[in-house]
Structure 1
Amino acid sequence: MSKRSKLVRGSAQVGTGIAVTAVGALLIMLAGQTNLPTVQHEVPAQTVSTATTTNTSFVCQGSFGVLGLNASSPNDVTPVGEAETKVSGGETAKNDLAMQLAGATPPSSRTVPGSEDFRAAQKQRIDTETVKGLAASSCGEATNEQWIVGGSTARGISSVITLSNPGAVAATVTIGVFNEEGPVEGVGTTGVLVPPATTKTVPLSGFGAGYDSTAIRVQASGSPVFATLGVHQITDITPIGADTVNAQLTPSTELVFSGVRTYENHTHGEEGEDGHDAALARLLSPEVATKAKVFSLTAGKERALIGEVELEAGVVTDLGLSKLPKEATGVIVESEEPIVGGVMTLLHNNNDHDFAWMTPSSVFSAGETVKTLTLPGGTLTLTNASDEKADFTVGDATVTLEPYTAKEVAKAGETSVQGEAPFALGVTLFDEHTLSTYPVLASASLIEEFTVYTR
């Protein structure tokens, strides 16, 4: 039996997808040539941020969607249960996205000034005959491009893409799916229409069944969308985990997963009897072949290399992290070319199972102040994403971190973080029976800066 199949049998080999952000390009044309003497001088330049002049729509997806509850229409997705949503910052508007759900939480959007560091997150404990687990996610901005890494279309695993359009015009969404064999071609990947102020769900199985490892590219025109992936798994007839996967905005040569947590307790048998890894890294290099290295982080020790892998262009690769230490609090993946990725961690406490699909946290610059929101029951993990020892201010306290270490620094509530070195933040919810995580993400509008050259 392969390591992948053992991983699925041991707890939850789930996945999801991908996320990426749109990038603008500036073309500068220089022309003219004479025989006169030339004069060289520095061209004045000014960096302009679009965040100060635009509003941003933040979306919370609402209740977890389950595929196949309606026997007469098995491709329908039904929201189940109620999600707990928390917000911070100055909320200026709120509207439900054209859904009224009996006994469930509808998706919602909030419009805030682009310059504001607004935070929102949601969690939901699901316990039904077919779905069981804790699903937490960061509410996020609608963007024109994003990647989701995770999920699967293998037997027993359900993966559902949720697309929310908070805008005033329709969005036409192109969904590109990659798996362990490469890009999926010609399986209805284009033209998903999401009307204004609505949410649409798309089963990942519609792009092909029987794939163990998937990653998703979401591209929207007309209006930006916010995309997440809901994943849950059943072994035989027993539900063994659920989670919601956030999107990654753009490929990067460094992926930081802040707040890693695994848990195994086998009092009814020998530890490790299922023969599965406690975590795996799923990686995709969209354009070119490259090599990636995976490092584990702890609260105080130097980071350790726990895996290396060659990535083929367009092929999703899973790497079992058998060397991930139990005390690990973070993972960093470094590659020669930009990649997207996710880390899945497992909880196995006798008959209780769950899993978490982690999206890379944003890496914030030294000196930048970042507001955070940690949901009840969660802990905030701070990662020093540099090779130098540095001090960080967390609320009113000072925290010193060694190079490439990750430490839990705050419990539930709102706080602000600033540091002398680049850093990343993630929230982990864990209670020995359920497990979930969500990343702290930089505002897409704050990323969208461009340089103006004056004559």
Structure 2
Amino acid sequence: MSDRRVFRWATTSTRLLAGTVVSAAAVVAVVTAISVPWPTLTKEPVSISAVPAPAASVIACDGPLLSIGRDLTSVESIAVASPQSLTSGVSADAAPPQEQVLQVEGMASGEGPAVFTAPPEARTRVDVAAAGAVTIAADDLAGFAASACRPPMLESWLVGGSAETGAADLVLLSNPGAVPATVQLTTFGAGGPLTPPGGSDLIVSPGTQRVVPLAGLALGEASPVIRVSAVGAPVHASLQTSITRTLTPGGVDQVGAVAEPTPIQTITGITVTRTPGSEGASDAATVLRILAPSADASAVITVTPVGRAEPALEPETVPLTAGQPVEVDLGGLPVGSYTVEVDAGEPVVAAVWQATGFEAGDDFAWYTPSPTVAVPSLFSVPSGPPPALTLVNPGDEPAQVSVTSEDGSYRLELVVPADGSTTARLSSRTVYTLDPGESEIVAGLSLTGDGAIAGIPVWPADAAAPVIVVYP
């Protein structure tokens, strides 16, 4: 019996031992399988890279200076006060742009703003640039206005103007497209954002410009900012602003739109022609308007003379409440050209109002921010006072910049110092190409003469369509 038990125990132990060995081997195999890379089979999907056909370049102009209420039998009627003189051009060796005129209700055919279209050539986008200028001396409007023709946008911001007594400002909405646009105008004032009944669901028909009095949107607002939102089709928005002081016209301007709020806004080429004296002590000759549309912020404002590194004024920190515009007096600046930088940390829009004075024969201008130019870009210089191009280099290295006329007869090579600025004199009624080289540049055009002042920011050329990858 005992021999049989020993045999059974031995055979059982053998089985246990064998099972343990097999289990251990299995564990080792699994661990090894996990730690050692397994052979893989990969197959790249079939793909095709293609560059979309470029679209036509389209820009719309502000149009002539308009007057409202000249006809005493129809105080709301709109009439042309003075036509706009235009200067346009396209990329080198391209065909001249196609031109059409938008229709404005109540105005004769052919009196509205111009639209320039440059179709692509050989699957290459053609850049187009244009700018207009108007000089007027009438009982209700007087001064000089200049503005660039811009591409239509689905959203833009108008920073400038007033709806107080003495102002007769107009919001201009142009639709150069082929389908109607529905536009919402949101006004930002002392009470915050508001969409007034006169700015809700405005239909701008294709091929037309619609004119909306600012007083009907923000009556009594001293420092309004307007957000223009469009659906259905993009629109070109601008602002005609003017002022009358005790029956004396005090200037006129056409204010272009700001493309979008950004944490840093750079406004350059601001020209101070006269240092305010005791007679103008109660009025500020240089005023900065800022709006943080969506969040509270603290904006640091720096005013720097062009060509110098030291600020002209001690940098000032201004608290901003979301949705409420703020104006900052920058008066007392000596005669010269300046750059104003607003660094808020949160997206803001801004513009600078500059006046030549406050008497009969004086003028004013709204200077809006200049976007960064990183590619060769076309810009137009309209007729008017002698123009000056201000270049600001926000980078840490000197920038090699060239400015070439459209016909190639003029070429200027400039070195803009790191974190510095410089100015170049240009010719009127000429189209130029600004090439920033390997750098990024901020540029603004200023036109200043006797009782005339205007500023135009230089915008970058539209970017080419990126390559897209298609997976069949």
Q: TM-score, normalised by structure 2?
A: 0.79
More divergent stretch after superposition (202-211 vs 108-117): 108-117
- The 5 A counterparts of 1:367-378 are 368-376=375-383, 377=385, 378=387
1:394 aligns with 2:403: yes
Answer yes or no: is the 8 Å Cα contact 2:103–2:111 preserved in 1.
no
2:296 to 289, 297, 312: 289
- Residue 422 and residue 155 in structure 1: after superposition, are their counterparts in 2 closer, same or farther (change >3 A)? same
- Structure 1 324/386 Cα, relative in aligned 2: closer, same or farther at 3 Å? farther
Q: Are 1:302 and 2:309 an aligned pair?
A: yes
SS at match of 1:328: strand
Question: Is 1:265–1:350's contact at 8 Å kept on the other side of the alignment?
Answer: no
| Aligned equivalents of 2:107, 2:275: Cα separation in 1 | 38
Residue number in structure 2 paired with 1:423: 441
Cα shift at 1:133: 0.9
1:22 is matched with none
Output aligned runs, 1:345-384, within 5 Å: 345-348=354-357, 351-365=360-374, 368-376=375-383, 377=385, 378-384=387-393
Whether the aligned pair in 2 keeps the contact of 1:257 and 1:360 (CA below 8 Å) is: yes
- After TM superposition, give the deviation of residue 185 of structure 1 in Å: 4.3
Unpaired runs of 5+ residues, structure 2, are: 1-36, 405-410
Distance 2:332 2:264 in 1: 20
Cα deviation 1:412-443 (Å, max 9, x = unaligned): 22332223431122211111211111111234
Aligned partners of 1:46 and 1:231: how far apart in 2? 52
Judge conservation of contact 1:56–1:111 (CA < 8 Å) in 2.
yes
For the residue of structure 2 that corresponds to 1:216, the secondary structure is strand
For this pair of structures, how many residues does the alignment match?
413
Report the alpha carbon displacement of residue 350 of structure 1 after superposing the two structures with TM: 5.8
Instruction: Quote the RMSD (CA, aligned, Å).
Output: 3.1
CA displacement, residues 112-141 of structure 1 (integer Å, 9 cap, x when unaligned) = 247222110000012110111111100111
Work out the CA distance in 1 between the residues paired with 2:426 and 2:368.
20
C-alpha distance after superposition, 1:167-222 (max 9, x if no partner): 11111111111113211244332111111111110011112311100111111111
- Report what 2:4 is aligned to: none
Please identify, of 425-434 and 227-236, the stretch whose mean Cα deviation from structure 2 is larger: 425-434
- Cα deviations by residue, 1:245-266 (Å, 9 ceiling, x for unpaired): 0001111122122211122278
- Matches of 1:59 and 1:82, distance apart in 2: 15
Q: Report if aligned partners of 2:102, 2:110 keep a CA contact under 8 Å in 1.
A: no
Q: 1:95 aligns with which of 82, 87, 100?
A: 100
CA distance in 2, matches of 1:448, 1:276: 48
What residue number does 1:151 align with?
161
Distance of 2:233 and 2:354 partners within structure 1: 34
Whole-angstrom CA distance in 1 between matches of 2:315 and 2:299: 11
CA distance 1:398–1:321, shift in 2 (3 Å): same
Distance 1:185 1:437, change over 3 A: same
Question: 1:205 and 1:307, CA in 2 relative to 1: closer, same or farther beyond 3 A?
Answer: same
Give the counterpart letter for 1:434 in structure 2: A
Amino acid of the structure 2 residue aligned with 1:429: L
1:120 aligned to which of 117, 130, 134 = 130
Q: Percent sequence identity over matched residues?
A: 26
For 1:172, the equivalent position in structure 2 comes to 182
- 1:264-343 equivalence runs, <5 A: 264=274, 270-271=277-278, 273-304=280-311, 305-322=314-331, 324-343=333-352
Q: Which runs of 5+ in 1 are unaligned?
A: 1-35
Q: Does 1:442 align with 2:442?
A: no
Distance 1:374 1:46, change over 3 A: farther
Tell me if 1:110 matches 2:116: yes
Is residue 2:246 matched to residue 1:236?
yes
The structure with the greater share of residues assigned to helix is: 2
**Structure 1 pair 403–105 and aligned structure 2 pair: CA distance change class (3 A):** farther
Deviation at 1:410, TM superposition (A): 3.2
1:68 maps onto 2:69 in alignment: yes
Which has more radius of gyration? 2
What amino acid sits opposite 1:107 in the alignment?
P
C-alpha change, 1:298 and 1:47, in structure 2 (3 Å) is: farther
Equivalent of residue 172 in structure 2, options 157, 162, 170: 162
Q: Distance in 2 between matches of 1:297 and 1:208?
A: 33
| Aligned counterparts of 2:55 and 2:456: Cα–Cα separation in 1 | 26
Contact kept in structure 2, 1:298 and 1:405, CA below 8 Å: no
Mapped pair 1:433 → 2:451 = yes
Cα displacement (A) at 1:43: 12
CA contact (8 A) 2:250 2:358 kept: no
* Alpha-carbon distance change, 447 to 225 in structure 1, aligned in 2, over 3 angstroms: farther
1: CA distance, partners of 2:341 / 2:127 = 25
2:143 aligned with 1:133, yes or no?
yes
Q: TM-score, normalised by structure 1?
A: 0.82
**Contact 1:297/1:406 (8 A) holds in 2:** no
Other-structure match for 1:253: 263
